[in-house]
Structure formats: C-alpha cells, structure tokens
C-alpha cells in the first residue's frame, strides 16, 4: 500500500469554492455552509483502508461537532474507472449504511482535490467562520 503525505494548505488560505453533486444528485457548494462557525472538509473514499479503519470513530466525532454547529462535508475525488467501489452508487450505499449526517460529494474532475491540495484519504481541512484554513 502506497503512503502519500498530505501537502496541506498554508495557514490563512481561504477555502476554495466547490460545486459538486451529493449522493442524492443535489449540487452542494462552499456557500451552503456560510452560517456555520467552522467547516471541516474531509477528502475520503469508500475503498481506502485508512478511511475504513477510522470511519466509525469519525462518524461519532462528526456528530459531536455537528452538535456544536460545525459543518462537515465529505468529498470523494477518486477515479471510478480505477476504483469502482468509489462510484456515486456505492457512495450512496456507504452513506446510508453508516448513517452519514453530512453531505458526501463526488469530485469527478478532481478539481476540488487539486484546489485543496488533497493528496490522500482521509485528508482533513478545518476552516473558521471566515472560511480561513486553520488546520
């Protein structure tokens, strides 16, 4: 299994915008989270063994932070030709199975991943209320 180090954004970087479909086919954008005091963007996918390993704990953590009004969005940027388990159909199944309480978006062109410098899964990006990168 290859290990790819996260590149991370420089602190203070504004969150790159995105307009991506969720598992229900609705388009979700950065602006949809403008009222939240913080936003956690997670680049994740269905087939990644690291994501699978932490998923139960991650969902528990997400629910705790959502109770504090922190917004969360998951983004899958994988190539479904090479990773068919990451198709939108499979994303929907995983989201239902694990009871996702956050939008799970598909980044088919990988433009969002490139804009965020997401290099691996899971890759986490935390933004404050001004959508400035803080971690």
Domains of the chain: 19-127 (3.40.30.10)
Which residue pairs, CB below 8 angstroms and at least 24 apart, start in 130-135?
130/14, 131/14, 131/15, 131/30, 131/39, 132/12, 132/13, 132/14, 132/15, 133/9, 133/10, 133/11, 133/12, 133/13, 133/14, 133/15, 134/11
pLDDT at position 135 is 79
Residue 5 in this model has a pLDDT that exceeds 80: no
Tens of pLDDT, residues 54-97: 999 999 999 999 999 999 999 999 989 999 999 999 999 999 99
- Band the pLDDT of 133: cuts 50, 70, 90: confident
Average pLDDT over residues 116-126: 93
pLDDT at position 3 is 60
């Amino acid at each position: 299994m290859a290990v790819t180090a996260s590149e991370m954004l420089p602190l203070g970087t504004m969150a790159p915008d995105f307009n991506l479909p969720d598992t229900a086919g609705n388009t979700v954008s950065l602006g949809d989270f403008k009222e939240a005091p913080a936003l956690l963007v997670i680049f994740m996918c269905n087939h990644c063994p690291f994501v699978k390993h932490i998923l139960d704990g991650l969902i528990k953590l997400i629910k705790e932070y959502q109770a504090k009004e922190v917004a969360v969005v998951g983004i899958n940027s994988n190539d479904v030709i090479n990773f068919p388990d990451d198709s939108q159909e499979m994303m929907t199944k995983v989201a239902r199975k694990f009871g996702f309480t956050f939008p799970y978006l598909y980044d088919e062109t990988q433009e969002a991943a490139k804009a965020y410098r997401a290099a691996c899964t899971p890759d986490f990006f935390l933004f404050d209320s001004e959508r400035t990168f803080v971690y």
